[in-house]
Structure 1
Amino acid sequence: MNEHLDTLSPAIVWRHFRTLCNTPRPSGHEERLASIIERWADERGLPHDRDAAGNLRVRKPASSGCESAPGVILQGHLDMVAQANADHPHDFTTDPIDTYIADGWLHASDTTLGADNGLGVAAALAVLEDDTLRHGPLEALFTVEEESSMGGALQLAEHWLEGSLLLNLDSEDRGEVYIGCAGGADVVVSASLPTSALRDDEQVWQLALTGLKGGHSGIDIHKGLGNANRLLVRVLRALEPYGARLIDYHGGTLRNALPREAFATLALDADEGEAAQARIAELQDELVAELAGIDDRLVLELEARDDAPGEALTRTASHMLVAALHVAPCGVERMSVEVPGVVETSNNLGVVALEQGRFTLCALVRSLRDSATADIADRFRALFGLIGAETRVENAYPGWTPNPESPLLARFRRLHQHLLGSDPEVKVIHAGLECGILGGKYPALEMISFGPQIRGAHSPDERVELDSVEEFWKLLRALIEDLAERQAA
C-alpha cells in the first residue's frame, strides 16, 4: 500500500515512511514497528538494544577517520496520534494509513497522517542506511508512547546513551529551529454523581456538536480554534431553563488534541422540546459567527430519541457539573514575557465523559513554568472538589530550558544560512518535546530540534509539505557531516 510514496524525493526517506504508514502504530502499540526496525538493523549489521520501557536504540560506528568526532543521537518517537473523522471507520491497531498527494502536500484519507513523528523516524533510519554519508558515532533513539503520556522518555534508561549531541527530529516548521519547550502534566478528574429515574414528563434528546477542525493542543492552542467540550458545555448551560438533566456525555478522544466533536444525551421537560430546538438554532448561529474565518464549519444538532435510558443526573448534580466544566481553565492562560509571542501557560479540556453517573475528565496543562502547571492543577482540584470529585496529576514532565549560546545551535544556523540562504528563526515551542525529559536524565546533552513543515498535527487534517522534506533531509545530512568533519580534525 502507499506505493506512490516510492516516487517521491528523497527516496531513501520516503521508503522508510511508507513502512511506517503501512505499520499500525498508535501509542501503546509500537511493538510491531520496533520489531520491523530491529530486523532491518540485523540485515544491515547494525547493533541495537532496548531498555526496560521498550525504547529502541540502533547504533552505527563512525566513518573511518571520524572516530573522535562527538557522538550524535538522532531522536524521534515511534507512535502516532490516532484520530479519524467520525464517519470514517478506521482501526488504528490493524489498518494502514491511506495517503494521497494534493497541491504539493501529503495527506491521509480521513485520519491523522503520522508525519508527526513518522518523518523524523524515517529520516533517522535513512541516515543509518546512507553509506555515502560521512559521520561520527551515531545512535538512533526511538521512544514509545510519546503521544499518550511521554512514558518512553520518562522511563528512559539512565547511563545508556553514549552521544553528547542530540538532534530531536520532532519539530514541524521549516525555517525554524527549536531550543526550548514547555513542560506539562495530565490533570485527571473523576467522580460518582447522584442519579435519579426519568420522570414521565421528561423526554430524551441527543445533542451533538461536530465539524470543528481540531488540532495540536500546544502548537494550535492560541489560534482561536473551537474546543468541542468547551462549546457543548456552553450549550448545555443555555438549555438548563428547559429542565436539562445530563444522562451521558462523550467529548474528545485524546488529551493532547483539541476536541473536534462532543455528544450528550439529556432529558428535557416534555413540553420544552420545541423551544429548546429553537434555542439550539440560535446558538448554532452565534457560535458560527464567533468562529467565523477560523473554525466556521461547526454543526449543532438536537434530536429526539425514542429510547429512554433509565436514569439521569439529578437536577442539582447536572447543574453543578455543567457549571464546573463551564468555568474550568481552558485555552491560553498567559503569554510569556521572557519569550515574546510564545504561550507560557495553557490548558486543554481534552477528554470529558459521563456514563451512568460516573464522570471523568482528562486535561493537559502545558507551561514554561512548572509552578504554573502546579497552580492550574490545584485550581482543578479546588473547583471539582466542590462537586465531590477526586483530582490527580499524572505523567508530569519538565520543560526544556533554552540555551541560545549553544555551539550546536550556532553550527546549525551557519549551515542553514549557507545551504538555504536564510538564518533560521530560533524558537521555543509551546508543546511537549521529549528534550526536556531527556535533558533531565542526561544533563550534559546539547540539543536542538528541527523538522519538515507539518500542519494540522493531531487531527485528520494533518499534512506535510513535500518540498520541506527534501530541505529537512538536506539540512540533516549536512549537519551530521559538518559535525564529523570539523570536530574529528
Structure 2
Amino acid sequence: MAGISQLSPPLLWQFFETICSIPHPSRHEAALRQWIEQWARDRHLAVEQDKVGNLIIRKPATAGMEDCKGVILQAHMDMVPQANADSRHDFTRDPIQPYVDGDWVKARGTTLGADNGIGLAACLAVLADRHVEHGPLEVLLTIDEESGMTGAFGLEPGLLQGDILLNTDSEQDGDVYMGCAGGVDANISLPYLAVGPDRRHQAWRLAVAGLRGGHSGINIHQGRANANKLLAEVLHALGQQLEFSLAELNGGTLRNAISREAWATITLAPEHQERINSLLERWQQQFSTEFAGVDDFIRLSLTAEPELPERVMAPQLQQRLLDALLACPHGVMATSRSMAETITTSTNLGVIKTEQERIFVQCLIRSLDDRGRDRVAEMTAAVFRLAGADCQFNGAYPGWQPDPDSPIMKLVLATHKEVFGALPAVKVIHAGLECGLFKASYPHWDMVSFGPTIQGAHSPDERVHIKAVERFWLLLTRVLHQTPRR
C-alpha cells in the first residue's frame, strides 16, 4: 500500500491508508472509533463519544479566526461490505487492500470504503494539519450510516455548538449538493410452508451472477440489472413451462445495494434437463440484448446438486412468492417536474433470504418527499399482502429539503469559482445523506455537501479518482479559510 500514502495530499491519503487497515463495516466500527479517539487524545484534542457511539472532536480556531462561525466537519465511520463471489474476505477481521490503478484507487476484490473513508480521512487531516486555517472547528463522525443511520438518528441536541455543517459524503467532483432523498426500509416476511421433495426429482442450483450492482440511490437511474428481479423473472417464466419445486431463494446482501448475484435451489424431473438448459440459453440471450452496454456480463447457470433438499416450498407458497417478487416495484418511480434530471422517488429490491421458518425480503424506498416515499411503501405492502406476507416499515428518515438562500452554499460556489475558475453544478442527490436527520436536532444548521469522484460505491467495483481527491481537499480547506465572521 506504499503507493497510496505517497499520493497528494499525502496527509489525507495516509489517514485513508490507516482507515483501510482497520476493519469497519457497518455496526463494527468500534476498533476504528477507538483508534481515532486515542489518536485525538494523543494530540490533546477534546474528544467525546455520545450515547449512541458517535465521536465529536474539537479543535480551537486558528489565531485571528476566533470570531468566525463555528463549522462542523462531518463524515461517517462505517463502510459497505461487498465482495466478489470468489473472495474469502472477512470484513470484520481483514483489512481492505487498496491499490493504484492509473488515475484511480481501487480495492482487491471488495468495496474500497472511499464512501465515506475519504471524507473521514479529510476530517482527520484537517485536525492534524497545522497549516489549514479555520474558525472554531468540530468534527462529527457518525456510526452505522450505511445500514440504518443509527448515529444520525441518535444525535442529541446541544452537543455541538457550530452553525455550519460541511458534509463530506458526496461522490462527484464538480457537484455541490443542497438536498438529498429520505427513505424507509420495507421488511417483508412470509412463513415457510414446507412439503417433502419428490424423490423422483433431481436438485439443481439456478444462479444469476456477473452483474455490476451498485449504489441503490446513485446508480438506480442507470438501468442496471438487479439479480433478484432477474431470477424471479426466470423462475416465474420457468413455472409456465415446466413443473418444478423451489427449495430456497437467496439474493443480495444489503438493502442499499443493487443486487449483483442471486441463486435458487430447485428440484425437477431429470428428463427436463435439456429443456431447462434450452430455456436458460434463450433467457441469457434476452438479458444480454436487454442490458447491452449497461450490464454486459450477466450469467445464468444451472448446476446439479448432489442431494435432494430435505424440504421444498408448498406449491401455493411458491406461486405466491414468485408472483410477488415479479410484481414488486423496483427502480425509478418518479422524477422531478421542476428540477431536470432529478429523481424524486425510487425503490430497490435489495435482499431475498430463505431462513428456517420464513422467507425474508428487504427493500429500500427513497424519496425527496414523504408522500412519494409513503406511496411506494403502500404499493410494496399491497403486493406482498396479497401474497400472504407481513410487511413492516422501519427506519424512516426525512429528506434534506433544498435551501436556495443558503449562505454556505453561496460561499462554496464562490470559492469553487475562485479556486478552479468555474462554478460547480448545484444538485440534489438521490442518496440518503445524514443531513435531513441532523435538521431535526439542529434546525439552525446551514448545510452543504461535496466530495471527490467515487464510482461503483456499494460494489467491489468501487474506485475513487486521485486528482478529484486533491481538488476536494483544496476546496474544503479554502472554504474553511473563508468561513464568515459571526
- Whole-Å Cα distance in 1 between the matches of residues 193 and 5 of structure 2? 57
Counterpart of 1:81?
A: 80
Whether 1:196 and 2:192 are equivalent positions in the alignment is no
Counterpart of 1:207?
A: 206
Counterpart of 1:476?
A: 476
- Whole-Å Cα distance in 2 between the matches of residues 198 and 368 of structure 1? 47
Letter in 2 for 1:239: L
- Whole-Å Cα distance in 2 between the matches of residues 371 and 3 of structure 1? 50
Query: Closer, same or farther in 2 for the Cα pair 1:472/1:354, shift >3 Å?
Result: same
Deviation at 1:13, TM superposition (A): 0.5
Letter in 1 for 2:136: P
- Whole-Å Cα distance in 2 between the matches of residues 238 and 271 of structure 1? 19
CA contact (8 A) 1:116 1:457 kept: yes
- Whole-Å Cα distance in 1 between the matches of residues 355 and 153 of structure 2? 32
Q: Deviations over 1:62-83 (max 9, x none)?
A: 1222111100000000000000
- Whole-Å Cα distance in 2 between the matches of residues 462 and 83 of structure 1? 10
Counterpart of 1:235?
A: 234
Counterpart of 2:146?
A: 147
- Whole-Å Cα distance in 2 between the matches of residues 37 and 429 of structure 1? 29
Counterpart of 2:280?
A: 280
- Whole-Å Cα distance in 1 between the matches of residues 254 and 356 of structure 2? 21
Deviation at 1:6, TM superposition (A): 1.7
Measured on the aligned residues, the alpha-carbon RMSD in Å equals 1.1
Counterpart of 2:350?
A: 350
Letter in 1 for 2:87: H
Counterpart of 1:124?
A: 123
Counterpart of 1:23?
A: 22
SS at 2:146's partner residue? helix
Counterpart of 1:244?
A: 244
Whether 1:419 and 2:419 are equivalent positions in the alignment is yes
- Whole-Å Cα distance in 1 between the matches of residues 270 and 319 of structure 2? 19
Deviation at 1:357, TM superposition (A): 5.5
- Whole-Å Cα distance in 1 between the matches of residues 258 and 272 of structure 2? 32
Counterpart of 1:340?
A: 340
Counterpart of 1:393?
A: 393
Letter in 2 for 1:487: R
Deviation at 1:252, TM superposition (A): 0.2
Counterpart of 1:320?
A: 320
- Whole-Å Cα distance in 2 between the matches of residues 134 and 103 of structure 1? 32
SS at 1:444's partner residue? coil
Q: Deviations over 1:410-437 (max 9, x none)?
A: 1111111111011000000001000011
Deviation at 1:249, TM superposition (A): 1.1
SS at 2:184's partner residue? strand
Counterpart of 1:368?
A: 368
Letter in 2 for 1:36: W
Counterpart of 1:443?
A: 443
Report % sequence identity.
46
- Whole-Å Cα distance in 1 between the matches of residues 219 and 56 of structure 2? 31
1:19-168 matched pairs, under 5 angstroms: 19-168=18-167
Letter in 2 for 1:88: S
Letter in 1 for 2:279: R
| Gap regions ≥5 residues in structure 2 | none
SS at 1:447's partner residue? strand
CA contact (8 A) 2:83 2:459 kept: yes
Letter in 1 for 2:363: A
Deviation at 1:202, TM superposition (A): 2.2
SS at 2:221's partner residue? coil
CA contact (8 A) 1:368 1:399 kept: yes
**Range 375-384 or range 299-308, more displaced:** 375-384
Letter in 2 for 1:134: E
Q: Deviations over 1:294-353 (max 9, x none)?
A: 111000011222211121112221111101100001111111112220111110000011
Counterpart of 1:380?
A: 380
Q: Deviations over 1:444-485 (max 9, x none)?
A: 0000000011000000000001001110000011000011xx
**Range 383-392 or range 286-295, more displaced:** 383-392
Deviation at 1:378, TM superposition (A): 1.7
Deviation at 1:371, TM superposition (A): 1.3
Letter in 2 for 1:261: E
- Whole-Å Cα distance in 2 between the matches of residues 135 and 198 of structure 1? 69
CA contact (8 A) 2:186 2:391 kept: yes
Letter in 1 for 2:251: G
SS at 2:220's partner residue? coil
Deviation at 1:104, TM superposition (A): 0.8
CA contact (8 A) 2:104 2:464 kept: yes
**Range 214-223 or range 274-283, more displaced:** 274-283
Letter in 1 for 2:248: D
- Whole-Å Cα distance in 2 between the matches of residues 264 and 15 of structure 1? 43
CA contact (8 A) 1:247 1:356 kept: no
SS at 1:416's partner residue? helix
Deviation at 1:356, TM superposition (A): 4.2
Letter in 1 for 2:326: H
Whether 1:224 and 2:223 are equivalent positions in the alignment is yes
Query: Closer, same or farther in 2 for the Cα pair 1:441/1:41, shift >3 Å?
Result: same
- Whole-Å Cα distance in 2 between the matches of residues 158 and 52 of structure 1? 12
| Gap regions ≥5 residues in structure 1 | none
CA contact (8 A) 2:46 2:58 kept: yes
- Whole-Å Cα distance in 2 between the matches of residues 424 and 30 of structure 1? 33
Letter in 1 for 2:290: E
Deviation at 1:270, TM superposition (A): 3.4
Q: TM-score, normalised by structure 1?
A: 0.98
- Whole-Å Cα distance in 1 between the matches of residues 349 and 186 of structure 2? 10
Letter in 2 for 1:388: G
- Whole-Å Cα distance in 2 between the matches of residues 472 and 231 of structure 1? 38
CA contact (8 A) 2:267 2:308 kept: no
Counterpart of 1:180?
A: 179
Deviation at 1:100, TM superposition (A): 1.1
CA contact (8 A) 2:4 2:100 kept: no
SS at 1:147's partner residue? coil
Counterpart of 1:6?
A: 5
CA contact (8 A) 1:216 1:256 kept: yes
Counterpart of 1:456?
A: 456
Q: Deviations over 1:269-316 (max 9, x none)?
A: 333222111101111111111111111100001122221112111222
